[in-house]
Amino acid sequence: MKLILLGAPGAGKGTQAERLCKTLRIPTISTGNILRAAMKDGTPTGLKAKAFMDAGKLVPDDVIIGIITERLAAEDCRKGFILDGVPRTIAQAEALENAGIKFDAVVSIEISDQEIMQRMSGRRVCESCGASYHLVAVPPKKEGVCDACGGKLVQRKDDAPETVKARLEVYHKETEPLKKFYAERGLLKPVQNQPQVAETTQAILHALGR
């Protein structure tokens, strides 16, 4: 099974990919995770990507195409894979097509911008232990303080409202046209985001005929 997960930033692609890869027994490839690891390790790719990521912009296509082609050539991808956060532009989709990769399905997680803004603006993380909270959905017992370790709760740099807005604009302009691209190839399966994570997973599996 070769699967693409499409959707706005904050739509829950990463969360769903982690759940689906366990059920489908194939790896998830996330360019966002690969880039964050490269940034942490201070590699040339990481250094190149940092300014784009911090500003909520897309990393240039040639960098992404290089990363993804190398990763998909690895042994663990032979039986299939789930792509999370890639392709994000028509050029990236064409590069995958030109590389001869035949996808089985492209699932698009549908969620409104308003809901994304609410979700992302309320997210807080502990700067000491990394635990995740949400001001409305998962509030800490004491405002601004981590329940687990007493650390300070902060907002992630790319969750700041102006950065989320920029990421949503980029999504609509650069990534959303991929829906038409894959619909024309008969691969697009839109799935409505559900209130519970597990319900969205079920809806995706149903759309895949599982």
Is 156 annotated in the active site?
yes
Task: Give 52 or 181: the residue with its C-beta nearer to ligand AMP.
Answer: 52
119 is catalytic: no
Residue 160 CB-density burial (10 A; 0-12 exposed, 13-18 middle, 19+ buried): middle
From the candidates 2, 13, 119, 189, give the one annotated as an active-site residue.
13
Longest dimension (CA), the chain: 53
**Active site residue: 2, 19, 123, 189, which one?**
123
Among 79, 156, 157, 180, the active-site one is 156
Q: Which is nearer to ligand AMP, 10 or 126 (CB)?
A: 10
Residues that bind ligand AMP (CB under 6 A): 9, 31-32, 35, 52-53, 56-59, 64, 85-86, 88, 92, 167
In this structure, which amino acid lies at residue 155?
Answer: Q
* 188-192 and 105-110 beta bridge pairing: parallel
Residue 143 beta carbon to ligand AMP: minimum distance, rounded to whole angstroms: 27
Query: CA–CA distance from 59 to each of 35, 36, 83, 170 (Å)?
Result: 9, 12, 16, 11
Task: Give the residue numbers annotated as catalytic, written as ranges.
Answer: 13, 88, 123, 156, 167
